[in-house]
Amino acid sequence: MINAEIDDKNCKITLKGIDNKAKDMSTAMKIIAKDLQSSIEYNFEVGGRYSSKDSYLIGALYEPR
């Protein structure tokens, strides 16, 4: 008969830490909100994200006359 013992103490500690951080998402949401605000402000400054013929969306649809 073979007996094996696995010490998963460090794994349990790591998973508990991840679980605790996942319960409070306020820090992640603040970072996401700040990035979103910066993106929106930039879009207003340049007149819209897809307003240029060089942009990804409009550039694909742009047909020169």
Beta carbons of 53 and 62 less than 8 angstroms apart: yes
Give the tokens for residue 24.
């409070």
Residue 30, judged by CB atoms within 10 A of its CB (0-12, 13-18, 19+), counts as exposed
Q: Please report the pLDDT score of residue 3 as a whole number.
A: 86
* Cα Rg of the chain (Å, integer): 25
Q: Please state the pTM of the whole predicted model.
A: 0.49
Distance CA 21, CA 30 (A): 14
Reading the chain (65 residues) residue by residue, the pLDDT tens digits are: 888 888 899 999 999 998 988 888 998 999 999 999 998 898 888 777 766 666 666 555 555 55
Q: Which helix (H) or strand (E) holds 11?
A: helix 9-23
Q: Please report the pLDDT score of residue 43 as a whole number.
A: 82
Q: Please report the pLDDT score of residue 7 as a whole number.
A: 86
